[in-house]
A and B are shown apart, each in its own frame.
Chain A
Amino acid sequence: GAGVSQSPSNKVTEKGKDVELRCDPISGHTALYWYRQSLGQGLEFLIYFQGNSAPDKSGLPSDRFSAERTGGSVSTLTIQRTQQEDSAVYLCASSLFWDQPQHFGDGTRLSIL
């Protein structure tokens, strides 16, 4: 079956612009996560959605970052007024429930000029 799908796969934008990244989780997965991976760094947790509960936003690095998950399925991560330090690979993962293995998408490579 289909895995976690992310779009776009690559995004290049100018500093100060807003960007929106999309994640389509595996159908039926109740949990969805966003992570980012900067060059030479480990994965950094950003935000976690579980069903209809309020999301855990504890990993968002600043108020320029926000995320939504509509209808318990597709999620968008929005970065406003992008900065060069936002350049990273943004990875989305989903799992059937919070304690099940997470399946990762291919990621969106974001480059801020």
Chain B
Amino acid sequence: RKEVEQDPGPFNVPEGATVAFNCTYSNSASQSFFWYRQDCRKEPKLLMSVYSSGNEDGRFTAQLNRASQYISLLIRDSKLSDSATYLCVVRALGGGSQGNLIFGKGTKLSVKP
């Protein structure tokens, strides 16, 4: 089983739609979770951290279900500028690997006018 799994998409949605991405992770001891956004041929950029209580940043809502080892990202009222690949990211644990991030392959979102 891959460490971080995502639906690759693509998700093609009209402007204004609500879209949800899901992600599962295999290491139950993982403590830190993030969503990154990557535009075509660009470096990944942190979108938001994911907390156990769930967190919201404007149109973006992230949730974590530790029991199911499942992370989600909800985008409301999607904009053309939201078109990108969304990467589910988990921080590795243990030994010298405390800092490194494990990335899913990403879910591609395309928002159409």
Contacts and interface: CB of A to CB of B under 8 A. Distances in A.
Interface of A: 31, 33, 35, 40-45, 48, 50, 53-56, 58-59, 91, 95, 98-99, 101-102, 104-107
Contact of B100 (A41, A48, A53): A48
A31 B43 contact: no
B60 interface: no
Main secondary structure of the interface of A (DSSP, over half): loop
Nearest to B105: A42
Contacts of B106: 42
B105 A41 contact: yes
Contacts of A95: 99
29 contacts: A40-B105, A42-B87, A42-B103, A42-B106, A43-B103, A45-B92, A45-B100, A45-B101, A45-B102, A48-B96, A50-B96, A55-B96, A56-B95, A56-B96, A56-B97, A58-B97, A91-B43, A91-B44, A99-B91, A99-B99, A101-B34, A101-B46, A101-B49, A102-B46, A102-B99, A102-B101, A105-B43, A106-B43, A107-B43
Nearest to A33: B100
A91 B34 CA distance: 18
Contacts of B42: 106
A97 to B, nearest CB: 8
B93 to A, nearest CB: 11
B32 interface: yes
Contacts of A41: 105
A80 to B, nearest CB: 23
A105 B44 CA distance: 9
B43 A104 contact: yes
B68 interface: no
A105 B106 CA distance: 19
Contacts of A56: 95-97, 100
Contacts of A59: 100
